[in-house]
Structures are given as structure tokens and as C-alpha cells.
Structure 1
Amino acid sequence: MFDFTGKTVLITGASGALGTALAARFSQAGANTVTAARSGYEELAATLQGPSLGVRLDVTGESDWAEAVARTEDRFGPLDVLVNNAAYLRVGTTEDIPLDEFRRVLDTNLTGALLGIRAVAPSMRRAGGGAIVNVNSVAGLAAAPGLVAYSSSKWALRGLMRAAAKELARDHIRVNAVHPGIIETPLAYGPDGTALVPVGDLPIPRNATPGEIADFILFAASDQARFATGAELVADGGFTLGPLT
């Protein structure tokens, strides 16, 4: 359905459940796929059917970003697509979350995306344009009690996306967001295995599969979405509609 033949795509947080699904789908669509993560990146790259490269990337480090982009360009040339997928979640309320953990969540989810956009923009200009997709969350659209740090980071990420979309538009670089609902990944559960957000009363009463959300992200990154920038695509199973009962 999507054709990324000859396009170079970098995915952060690639070794997680959604990142793995994204890497597989971009590779199947013909992309030069760069899997970027703090661990597991080379092993994942080796499983892909198309041209691939695994790079170590801590999204909070500017030098890591510079190295990841340089290695990508050395192998494949300028970047066409960035998926800011890396995320960190810490359960905690406004009153009880440790301050260092609040800062760690923002550093990963918000500052990491800023550094990514900053690092890839010159490469995308050399490519003649590109697409950046920030993986956001329904926690960036609705109140998320008990997830104050995660929700704060995702609301702020919306502002970053919109500002970057305006700033980069004349360079033919599109910046959009996908807001998934609850995905069937370890992030959906607390340390004791209890679901952080029950979904049984939602219009679609289940968690999304990583592949379902990957399809939305590929659309946002593809030429089929070429007229969209600063847009927010929601794939939440009706979460923002509220429960049926």
C-alpha cells in the first residue's frame, strides 16, 4: 500500500514493540531502514528484508544524534523520514512523582524529539524535503490522572510539532503527529501487570496492535499525506469519545 522505495527512514526507540513493527513495515515498503535505539538496534536491523542499518541512539544526547545522522548519510545519503518514536513512561501523580523522574520523562519524550528534528532538518534539506512524524498519545489529548509526567510531555510535544511544522514548511519538510490509543506493549501495564488504562468500556474495547498504529504512522510519513503538515492523526479506538456506558 505504501511505497518508500529509495527513501531513507530513521526510527527512534526502534527496539520496542511499536518500533519493531515500524521497522518491519518500512522495510517491506522498500525503505532504507535505520533502527535507532539504546540497545537491540543491530539485531533488529539484521532481521529486516531490505537495506538496513542499526545505530546506537540515546535521544537525549546531541552527540548521539549527530553520530546517528552522520552514519545514516554515510550509508544511504540524506534522510527522508524521521519517526520520533522513543518514549519513557513513569507512573506518578502531580503530588508524588519524583522530580528527577518527571524531568527524565520530559527529557526523553519532548527534548529527545526536539533534538531529533534539529539533527535531521539539514539532512532533509539536502534531500529536497522530508517527513517527520512524532508519535504522540491520547495522553496528549485528554487528562491522564496518574501519568502527569507522560501527559505533560505529550501535550508539550503537540506545541513542538506545530512550531516545527511552520518553521520547516518552506523547506518542504512536513511535521505531523499520530496519537495512538492504548497499544498492546509493556507501557500499557504497571509493574504488577495491571492495565494502566482499562479499555473494556471503550467503543473499540481492546488495545491496538503495534501493526495497526504502524500503518497510521506510515501513512503520515508517505506521499499520500503530502498535503498535511501540523496535523494530528488519532487512532485511539474511540478513547477520546469516552466510554459507552
Structure 2
Amino acid sequence: IFLFDEPLSNLDAALRVQTRVEITRLHRRLGTTMVYVTHDQVEAMTLADKIVILNDGQVVQVGAPLEVYDHPVDRFAAAFLGSPPMNFLPATLVEASSDHARVTLAGAQGAGVEAQVDARQGRPGDQVAIGIRPEHLRLSHAGPIAARIVAVEHLGDESLVYLDYGKGHDPLVAKQQRSTELRPGDTRACLLAAEACHLFDQGGRAFARKQSPDGSRGTEGGMGAICTT
């Protein structure tokens, strides 16, 4: 067994990428078990066959990278993986069944959103949170959730758009294809597809999702990453 304890933490960005590739090649060539401890989610997602997420010394979730990414068990795991992190929107549960939930969003004129989850553990009136990753948040010129663009970061092949959808709420982040048409001060509608939404109860536990947005689930293998806060 090989143990790596944050081996890339003091390297610059370019060398970190190069060394990640070399570690992957080494693992494939040796065919042995490796345990990799890191605070860096990118290292965990790219290197590991299985991820263990720790919070205050307690195991939060264990699974293949895409399994944990698509099916986090709570808000901590959901926020830990993904850059930018998952958006969370406070809401009230209005309808709950074994295959979907419907909520009304706080600060969005009571706009309704659905999530494809098993919501039988919830009750109408419960305070919950809708979660959606930036790459799944779509922007349009018309829709029930209006938001004002407060900043745009152009990263070359894509843009990060920061949106204010209600007083007192954290800005939403949408990851969009490269665009020069999005400008601070503009208003856009946010579209949340039911199959892309996560739902968390008041204690932060996730309602079980029916599937990931692309319908896939992760696989397991032989390099493990232990992710800590």
C-alpha cells in the first residue's frame, strides 16, 4: 500500500497537473493500492477510484467520484465536490411523493420548482433547500425565477455568471458556454430542470435522487482519496 499525504500542496498549478498525470500512470503500472489524502477536490476527482469524505474526523460518504458528485448524502458532501460549489436555494416543500417533490422558493416570488427525488420522508410545509450545480443552472430570457447578473467571469471556453435572485440570499453561480452577451446589470431567468435538482431537508440530509442528470452512476476501482476539511 502506498500512502500519499497531500504531495502536490506546494507545487504551482502547471506542475500539479503534470504530477497528477504521473501519479495516475504510476498507479496503473504498479497495480497496487494507493491511499491519497487531500483537501483538493480536483485531485480527489481526477485521481481516485473511490473517495472518502471526512468532516471533523467523521466519515460523511464513501463512493466512486461520480457517484459522490451526483448523489451526495448531505449538504456538506454536495458543497465539498464541485468548483464552483453547488448552489443552495431555501424553499418550502409543498408536495412530496416517492418519485418527485415540489417546492416554492424563498425570495423568488413563490416560484415553484420540482426535483426527481424520493421525498416520502418529507411533509408539506417542511423547510428544505434545493441544490443545483452551476453547470446545470440554465439562463434564459423568460422563466419563473428572475435574477440580476452581478458579475461575469470569462474563463476562455466558458463563463461563470453570478446572479442575485432575492434580497438576503447568496448569489447563484451559473457555468455557461463562452458568451459576451451576458453583462452585469442584465436580468435573466434561471431554469432548474427537475432531473438536475437535489433536495435537502432542514438538517442537511439529502433526499434520494432517482438518477444523475445524464442517467449514469459511478464505478469503483483501486486508488482511494481521503478528502478532509
Same fold (TM over 0.5): no
Q: Indicate the structure with greater strand content.
A: 2
Which of the pair has the greater relative contact order for Cα pairs under 8 Å at 6+ separation?
2
TM interval, shorter chain, is: under 0.3
Higher helix share: 1
Using structure 2 for the length normalisation, give the TM-score. Answer: 0.26
